[in-house]
Structure 1
Amino acid sequence: MKIVATTASRLEMKHFPINNWCSGSLLIIGSLSFLIYLIFFMAFAASLKCQRIAKLGINCELSHYYLVEKPQNQKIFDVQEAKIKTIVSSKGSRSYQVIISTPFGNYDLLSASSNYDENERIATQINDFLYSTESYLSVRQNRWHNYFFYIIIISGFAITGVFLCASPVVNCTFYKSLNKVVIEYKGLGGVTIEEYPLENILRIDSQERETRSGKSYRLVLVFRSPKVGGITSPDSIPIHNDYTNAHSTNNIVYSVNSFLWS
């Protein structure tokens, strides 16, 4: 918050929630980017169709299905086995992926998931066919539950981003001639105005909060008594919800209190 105007009878402060706007914009951009990846580049299902041809071995067609794109088909020749690849994250969590092995390289059925039983079932079906005399195999793996989970996560981040971007600009003005302080909140939802008698304001102070990175502060109005205008109110109210460093807050506290007490 900054002091933007001051006279002998009037002091005006304004706060732009830049950090909230930037964080909200990044969340919205990140959510939209991941949504585009989810729709166009992440397969929600895969199918493997194999046929045993005498003297030619086993030839297969691997198809990946996307939400809006056409299925992508890939020919696979001389399939030898299906195995499960275990992926361990830096935090120790495990995910599993079915891999189709051939002399010409390995092919992923779908992206890794935490469901080992599902991957084991698919791999077993493929291997049972390879070591049998059956002439045809068709298996399909779906990840709709992953899609729903990702959509919920994306929606949560996007809603949080919109909420942060909607943080209002706060304008706080002390009027000695009118004997009142006016706090105006201008946001996407409109304008909200709060007024308090100046004679009931004892001082402006900083409210402390402990965080992992250290202490942060925000400005609060401290009242002389718990009653303002005949209505019960708290002993102090925040002028805005954002916390900042001690230096900028203390400078404003000193300037406003000097104005109030002069």
Structure 2
Amino acid sequence: MEWNPTQYAQFSDHRSRPFFDLLGRIPQLDPTSIVDLGCGPGNITEVLAQRWPQAQVLGLDSSPEMVARANAVAAAENLSFALADAASWDVPEGTDLLVSSAMLQWLDGHQVHLERWLRQLAPGAVVAIQVPGNFTSPSHAVMREVAQSPRWVEKLRGVLRHGDAVADPSDYQQLFIRCGLEADVWETTYQQLLTGADPVLSWVRGTALLPVKAALSAADYLAFEDDYRAAIAEHYPSFTALDGQLLTNFPFRRIFMVGRKN
């Protein structure tokens, strides 16, 4: 599955806002070693390097395209990026702060891996994570319905993640506590305003549609987009603002979890 950093960054303001809300709940600490797991193009990892200039900040991602983009634009001296497979990754000794923003949902059996990382953290270390919680929203549910339609079911069987790609907030709360962490867990639904024609399709092109694109030929993928565009339109009607701008309301639920190891 090939990530497109440019497409992903198209909605950078909307995608980065949950990170800043997460950052605001991190308790007071003076870290020397920070890891951003699933760093993407590195723009929010650089924020960590700026906030804690005394710390060495390492951004990790499984996408060569994302890591290449991050390395190309990295400016802070205390910032570096590298490739890593989260499924086999372990928390390095001495890590004071582990951050992960919108990554866990891509990892099969992510709660097992999360538990491993939480147990590997040293006493006093902090973890801060946010994941999307919109897998039952029309943007994703309709995509799965189109993939299961007679036209696509054979080519896309088992490709898309289902509504249980992430857990309930209470599950994460209990996991943190079982692993010896204080647990600050909450959820927020952002009423995002997207602009232009087919904005929901443009949004999911950068994330949720990537497995479909990887599984289909170029021609079939464009045909799938057409089917999805027709099916999703009624769920996200556009409206015109006073200045004539075309807007679409796109509710987006996010789940947050912050904890310090006791």
Do they fold alike, i.e. is TM over 0.5?
no
Q: Which has the larger radius of gyration?
A: 1
Q: Which has the higher helix share?
A: 2
Structure number with greater CO (CA < 8 Å, separation at least 6) is 2
Scaled by the length of structure 2, what TM-score is found? 0.19
Scaled by the length of structure 1, what TM-score is found? 0.19
